[in-house]
Structure 1
């Protein structure tokens, strides 16, 4: 077996090939093993990876971006009708309501709308096309997540359905899962950006994995093991996937939830546009007990729900 050290400074690109959506007949065993090996290497290294040939149609992504843009362009009072709070995982959050950076020293210029379950309120009156766009897109995300989680299980010699079997509540109406699709909107900034202003402060994701869809503006940076910030520059046609806290706990630290942030790029200041992203946080069923699978005591056992509640207490203002 190769003793080559994992690359901890470059975000690799993995071609999903036959694991992408819409491939007739499904993946061959060789293809499963190839993708599993490449994903494993990426998550062991920098903890982030670009996926290409994933199969989610660009039209679905653009439909969600478009409907989200319409919502965030509504007046403040209208948006606040859908406001959420710390005890909820669905709804609108205004600028600086959520402090992702633990130091809380930054102004976080970001609005979000979290979608936990399609039975919860959506702006059907103001943006009627949003519901259909989300339903289609979420279904595609889940199909892709199933393939990715299967490959990750193979990479660490688990039963192939180990991770997918913990996600079964995700798409049940009222299901006990804290998986969330988050539409983020980054408002236009002034030509002179105020001090200590950022889009999203440095943090790790509380999930198992996260799928991230970026627009062309970017700003995402990942902190590597040397403490340097690495740009996750948008690559057309790709999705960014990263390991979350729970995957780190399960693997005893083999796959690391790397700290990341969203800065305001100089190009954005120059061009003055708002920007957007969509994140799909994949969380297990609420009562799933997560503990190191290698039998170590690297991390104490914790339920997915309790870990989420612990994180919520830290980030809401």
Structure 2
């Protein structure tokens, strides 16, 4: 799968448009815009720091999610992941993003989307606070996600800096996903199985909260780089839909999580939290530069095609 080395993922200071500001700090905003634009046109990933996102809420979701993932299988499987991947529990090996591999990934997740009001949840008595903690965290992610979209629009010199934000209005299939990589002590690992197979994300932008290292990102020239932990940093990348939307100006980069190396490391569980931002279901995705490089398509149709493959 190529060599893997240490390399720099850009760390971008968001203090010029942190969540506590009602409008950007004009003295530093262009530097922020330029940094994001350069990152997304080169490696496709960056860390944002000084966002004002509350770390205690990240810790809270880790704690309540761990209690959920520690439940017996029977208590977790209701509700199972929906057909379009937007809501519910995905058990070990349920998801196979890379269809070239014969087996599913060695991870568990719970997907939450606010797209529908009749979402099912595990019983409150089984995991107190799980539903409300996920819902509250989702709502905390939305304004930060929107700020990234606005910065991207500035980087692309779009006439309306809220171009992307307006097209991400609800209802959309944005998704919060606490992820769990269990100990492999009692797991028979099959040939070519990994924690999370090589893939690029499907939709708009992703914000990832990491607990421990493990993610690897593909370089444009080939080979992989290890993504470090950055204190207070939130990792951001874009998905295939956004690359299409920007006529390949912004890059949806392939990434993966391999099996941890030593027996001791394989015995350790790990967690992460991903927020996948997706456009409105009926938004028409047309090339922002008017090049018509790709034909227009509704977001709903595009995501249905992608998710049907991952959860087939």
| Same structural fold, with TM-score higher than 0.5 when normalized by the shorter chain | yes
What per-residue deviation string (whole Å, max 9, x for no partner) do you get for residues 158-213 of structure 1?
111101101110xxxxx3x1111111111101399553221111111111110001
Name the SS for the 2:28 alignment partner.
Answer: helix
Query: Greater shift after overlay, 65-74 or 230-239?
Result: 230-239
What per-residue deviation string (whole Å, max 9, x for no partner) do you get for residues 74-116 of structure 1?
1111111111232351100111111011203344101110000
Which of 96, 101, 110 is the matching residue for 1:104? 101
Name the SS for the 1:51 alignment partner.
Answer: strand
Within-5 A mapping of 1:1-317:
10-23=8-21, 25-117=22-114, 119=117, 120-123=119-122, 124-158=124-158, 159-169=160-170, 175=171, 177-190=172-185, 194-216=190-212, 218-266=213-261, 269-270=264-265, 272-317=267-312
Aligned length: 301
How many Å separate the matches in 2 of 1:135 and 1:22? 21
The structural deviation recorded for 1:58 is: 1.0
- The Cα RMSD (Å) is 1.9
Structure 1: gaps (5+ residues): 1-8, 170-174
Query: Greater shift after overlay, 104-113 or 275-284?
Result: 104-113
What per-residue deviation string (whole Å, max 9, x for no partner) do you get for residues 239-296 of structure 1?
0000111211111101010111111232684362211111111000011111212222
What per-residue deviation string (whole Å, max 9, x for no partner) do you get for residues 39-92 of structure 1?
000000100001111211111001111111111111111111111232351100
How many Å separate the matches in 2 of 1:70 and 1:106? 27
Name the SS for the 2:27 alignment partner.
Answer: helix
Name the SS for the 1:284 alignment partner.
Answer: coil
What per-residue deviation string (whole Å, max 9, x for no partner) do you get for residues 107-158 of structure 1?
4101110000284222223222223322332222111112111111111111
- Alpha carbons 2:11, 2:48 under 8 Å: kept: yes
- Which residue of structure 2 lines up, in the alignment, with residue 172 of structure 1? none
How many Å separate the matches in 2 of 1:269 and 1:105? 26
How many Å separate the matches in 1 of 2:109 and 2:217? 21
| TM-score, normalization by structure 2 | 0.90
Name the SS for the 1:60 alignment partner.
Answer: helix
- Alpha carbons 1:208, 1:243 under 8 Å: kept: yes
How many Å separate the matches in 1 of 2:90 and 2:41? 33
- Alpha carbons 1:106, 1:201 under 8 Å: kept: no
- Alpha carbons 1:288, 1:303 under 8 Å: kept: yes
